Amino acid sequence: MIPVRDFNNLCTDLVTTITDLKEHILVAEDNHAVNRLTGKKDIILVAVIPSSDRAGRPSSSVDENTTFFFVVKKFTPSKNEAQELDQYEATQIVIEQVKDYILGKMEDGCHFLHRLEPSSIHIDPAYNIFGGFSGWSMSLTF
């Protein structure tokens, strides 16, 4: 299991590195995110504390951690189609930067990302989540 502070430090580094990310919030589940996102207007990284499963043989087992990252911005229902597309485009650029940063950390030998399988990365659009935010989600296992 990855130490939660190490994971939080990774998220802090993401915000420091990616210009369009204004902050991150670390959450355990949906309701936690709803509460923490109240009043936020900028592009925000929502990072879910990784879950852990044990894999392998009893004498050589390892932890497999799974997490989700969301890059979201407050959605305004009165936006027209072009404004909605602009929001998806802006948040898509950021989720791609998050993915590239994590892949770079894995290639650099980051102690908890070294077992990341790039094929485990899955990105989906997200609409009206966490009480009114839209953008992208990314899941990965490491």
Kindly give, in sequence order, each residue whose CB lies less than 8 Å from that of residue 86, ignoring residues fewer than 6 positions away: none
Q: Residue 111 — very low, low, confident or very high, per pLDDT cuts 50/70/90?
A: confident
Q: Residue 76 — very low, low, confident or very high, per pLDDT cuts 50/70/90?
A: confident
**What 3-state class would DSSP assign to 129?**
strand
Residue type at 22? K
Q: 15 vs 114, which has greater pLDDT?
A: 15
